[in-house]
């Protein structure tokens, strides 16, 4: 079992191990497998060594570097890091160096983390396999013929391969939870507004959230405590401090109402559904009450999402015009330059979603498409409210399948979009959800069980996750 963040930080803070030695272990693994996996767009080894040495100096001087002292962490390459290339895995931002740090990056640095690099992703976080990166795909460390999921595939792969103890990703429609499931690690999408989005390069602003990848539920709780809490620079940030989640982990699930969704869309592999049923049985054996609920949102959430998200993307990505930053392709006049820059800079999936979104927002179609999707979004919130009146948490598969082979869905965008059937609805309503590894299915590959909770329901969500994790061991 790889080192955990909790144990690593405790050992570094007590002087039992050096942050520099922990870092070299990770850099050695990166050196041996990164060419095969391609988890990173950039490995910041020199800066990491400087940072680790500073952590060790502070410990030797009797200082406390923080709750993540010496813990190696990988950052998804859509989080702004001052002076470090941040590309969103897109040619249009290749070489751009932000002049500031994202709030999450600031908080991780203040907690003593050591940044080892920027991880690969589907371009602008648009995808479910990390095959859409302009810099090549990331491979699943458990089987390199298969995808790691997406869009945060590089972050999930970095943790699964033990290139870093922990990682940060972003989740717009499942982009933390789905790769966590496919790579056999823990992944958390917090309540919308619980973690600052300041410095996260936007895909769909009303859906995006930042969250952790870890090997354990306890590490995920620790990271949430570090990165959560109010930020005045994010107008959507919830005005309350970060939740204390680690004290919840030992409380068990006795008396909790766990919802089984009776109208969950079909399509998940039998092996995945077997693991879900085993999770229900495990929680029931530990004292939870299994209750049947209906959530029609899982049937129509996908269609609403693929109007709302592309519409917001078409607006957010309009800023990439070849004028202010990133790639510029010269042409005869300004409009021609815009077209040439975007044609060369954006990949096929990004162009597809921009065109869908622009169409949905256009005069004569706004009410029929985008406006109707917003009404559906309201109905989805009503569906969840009714379910949570009967249950404290809900359980679903995270992904309908285990990790699939490269190229098996790339020619069929709809098949790829269906990978997010079970994850998208919670993004539309802003609720928290997380994926916890719970056994294996086809080809011996890991299965993730998804735990969903109402807004700000992270404490009960983490209690449930800890119970499943303990049983899975």
For the chain, what are the domain ranges?
5-248
**What is the reported pLDDT for 354?**
96
- Active-site option among 89, 128, 151, 196: 151
**Model confidence pTM above 0.85:** yes
What is the DSSP code (8-state) at residue 266? S
The token pair at 87 is: 């590309």
pLDDT band at 67 (very low <50, low <70, confident <90, very high): very high
Tokens at 367, concatenated: 């009410």
Half-sphere exposure (CA, 13 Å, Cβ side) for 44?
23
**Biggest CA-to-CA distance, the chain:** 71
**Residue 151 appears among annotated catalytic residues:** yes
Overall size of the chain counted in residues: 473
The set of residues, in sequence order, having a beta carbon less than 8 Å from that of 375 and lying 6+ positions away, is none
The strand ranges marked E within 262-401 are 289-293, 393-397
Structure tokens at 435: 């994926």
Q: Is the pLDDT reported for residue 414 higher than 90? A: no
Burial readout 429-450 (b: 16 or more C-beta within 10 A, e: otherwise): bbbbbbbbbbbebeeebbbbbb
Q: At what angle do helices 297-316 and 348-361 cross, to 10 degrees?
A: 100
- The predicted structure's pLDDT at residue 416: 87
Distance CA 98, CA 83 (A): 6
pLDDT tens-digit map of 94-151: 889 999 999 999 999 999 999 999 999 999 999 999 999 999 999 999 999 999 999 9
Q: Is the dihedral of CA 152, 155, 156, 161 positive or negative?
A: positive
pLDDT for residue 87: 98
Measure the CA dihedral 467/468/472/473, to 10°: -30
Looking at the chain, the whole-number percentage of residues with pLDDT higher than 70 is: 100
Beta bridge partners of 258: 290, 393
Cβ neighbours around 421 below 10 Å, total: 23
φ, ψ of residue 435 in degrees (nearest 5): -110, 130
Order of strands across the sheet that contains 393-397 = 40-43, 114-119, 72-76, 166-171, 209-214, 186-189, 433-440, 446-452, 393-397, 257-261, 289-293
Find the catalytic residue in 89, 90, 155, 175.
175
* Nearest alpha carbon to residue 231 among 189, 270, 194: 194
128 is known as an active-site residue:
no
User: What phi and psi values does residue 458 have, to the nearest 5 degrees?
Assistant: -55, -40
Task: Please confirm, yes or no, whether 372 is among the known catalytic residues.
Answer: no
Q: What pLDDT score was predicted for residue 418?
A: 87
Evaluated on CA atoms 214, 230, 85, 21, the torsion sign reads negative
Region for 194 from its dihedrals, namely left if φ exceeds 0, alpha if ψ lies in -120 to 50, beta otherwise: alpha
Reported as a single tens digit per residue, the pLDDT across 367-407 is: 999 999 999 999 999 999 999 999 999 999 999 999 999 99
Residue 177 and residue 423 in contact, taking contact as beta carbons nearer than 8 Å: yes
Q: pLDDT band at 415, cuts 50/70/90?
A: confident
Total Cβ atoms within 10 A of residue 469: 18
Cβ–Cβ < 8 Å for 91, 344 = yes
For 5-248, which CATH class?
alpha beta
Interatomic CA distance for residues 15 and 316, integer angstroms: 46
């Amino acid at each position: 079992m790889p080192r955990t963040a909790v144990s690593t930080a405790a050992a570094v803070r007590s002087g039992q191990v050096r942050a520099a030695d922990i870092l070299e272990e990770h850099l050695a693994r990166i050196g041996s497998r990164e060419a095969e996996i391609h988890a990173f767009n950039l490995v910041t080894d020199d800066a990491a060594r400087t940072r680790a040495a500073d952590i060790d100096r502070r410990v030797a001087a009797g200082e406390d570097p923080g709750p993540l002292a010496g813990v190696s962490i990988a950052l998804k390459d859509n989080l702004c890091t001052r002076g470090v290339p941040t590309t969103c895995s897109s040619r249009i931002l290749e070489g751009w160096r932000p002049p500031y740090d994202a709030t999450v990056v600031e908080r991780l640095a203040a907690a003593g983390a050591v940044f080892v690099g920027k991880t690969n992703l589907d371009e602008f976080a648009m995808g479910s396999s990390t095959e859409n990166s302009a810099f090549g795909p990331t491979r699943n460390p458990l089987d390199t013929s298969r995808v790691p999921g997406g869009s945060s595939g590089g972050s999930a792969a970095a943790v699964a391969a033990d290139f870093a103890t922990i990682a940060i990703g972003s989740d717009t429609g499942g982009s933390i939870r789905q790769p966590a499931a496919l790579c056999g690690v823990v992944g958390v999408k917090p309540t919308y507004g619980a973690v600052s989005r300041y410095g996260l390069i936007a895909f769909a602003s009303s859906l995006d959230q930042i969250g952790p990848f870890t090997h354990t539920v306890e590490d995920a709780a620790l990271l949430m405590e570090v990165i959560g809490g109010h930020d005045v620079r994010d107008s959507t940030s919830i005005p309350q401090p970060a939740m204390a989640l680690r004290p919840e982990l030992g409380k068990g699930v006795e008396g909790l109402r766990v919802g089984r969704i009776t109208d969950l869309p079909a399509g998940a592999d039998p092996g995945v559904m077997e693991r879900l049923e085993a999770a229900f049985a495990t929680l029931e054996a530990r004292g939870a009450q299994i209750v049947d609920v209906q959530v029609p949102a899982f049937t129509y959430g996908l269609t609403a999402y693929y109007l709302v998200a592309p519409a917001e993307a078409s607006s957010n990505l309009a800023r990439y015009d070849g004028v202010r930053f990133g790639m510029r392709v010269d042409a005869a006049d300004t409009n021609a330059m815009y077209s040439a820059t975007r044609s060369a800079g954006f990949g096929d999936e990004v162009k597809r979603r921009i065109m869908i979104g622009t169409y949905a927002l256009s005069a004569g179609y706004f009410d029929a498409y985008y406006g109707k999707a917003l009404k559906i979004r309201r109905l989805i919130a009503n569906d969840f409210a009714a379910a949570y009146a009967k249950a404290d948490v809900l359980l679903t598969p995270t992904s309908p399948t285990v990790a699939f082979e490269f190229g098996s869905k790339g020619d069929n965008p709809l098949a790829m979009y269906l990978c997010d059937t079970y994850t998208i609805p919670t993004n539309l309503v802003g609720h928290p959800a997380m994926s916890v590894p719970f056994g294996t299915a086809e080809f011996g590959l890991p299965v993730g069980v998804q735990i969903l909770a109402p807004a700000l329901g992270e404490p009960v969500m983490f209690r449930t996750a800890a119970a499943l994790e303990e049983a899975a061991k």
